[in-house]
Amino acid sequence: MRFAGQTAILTGAANGIGAACARRLEAEGARLAVIDRDEAVTARFPNALAVAGDCTDADVLRAFAFEAEGRLGPVSVLVNNVGQSARERSRPFSESNEETWRFVLEVSLLTTMRLTRLVAPAMAERGYGRVVNIASDAALVGDAGLAEYATAKMGVIGFTRSLARELAPLGVTVNAVAPGAIRTAAHDHVPEAVLERVRAGTPAGFIAEPEDVAGLVAYLASTEARFVTGQTILIDGGRWML
């Protein structure tokens, strides 16, 4: 019950990694607020403040953050999970288009920055907070056909490092988790050729489950990780080693 008495908010929590992280924090006692454009999020988290909404809409995020703090109390944990590659629109960069770049940057980077801007100042004022951003090992590996996604997620890593330096003296840690091949519904929308390259390049030889990510997120979100900040920790079966 590491999060008893604490409020945790998560984006993109209806499925996959987001849902696994939300379940883990809730199981360990957190008062939970979750948001996802998939309306199923409300049924999957009946005991939480669950909002069906588009995280790329700044007004929706603002209302969500306000409601979470108003109903559940000061936010101690923020998990910025929402993000998406170009999926079926993935192309070699020379064949890609700016509309796709902007969409991927919006959902995978700007949502993280916006919600953090809404939540982090109050954390700093109280002298305690945990921000965990979900990046991707694609940012470090540089998979072909995922240029816009790798760019967005490297932006998440840079944002994590810079913000960690600002907030460390104020009792707030900021870290990133960079998953590799994790079995989620998003894989249904990624070209098989891309998935096969990822799978073949993973030394562990298998695709992990969302719960493998949730364990690390829970640690970084807890008081146990008080001396860990500004880090990017990979969960990718050894595909990229720091």
Residue listed under structure tokens 């079926």: 88
CB atoms within 10 A of CB 96: 17
The answer to whether 138 touches 179, Cβ cutoff 8 Å, is: no
Q: What is the CA radius of gyration of the chain?
A: 17
Residue listed under structure tokens 């990229």: 240
Catalytic residue status for 149: yes
Integer Cα distance of 54 and 114 in angstroms: 13
Q: Indicate which residue of 149, 190, 202, 216 is catalytic.
A: 149
- The b/e string for 12-37 (b: 16+ C-beta within 10 A; e otherwise) is bbbbbbbbbbbbbbbebebbbbbbbb
The answer to whether 9 touches 77, Cβ cutoff 8 Å, is: yes
Residues serving a catalytic function are 149
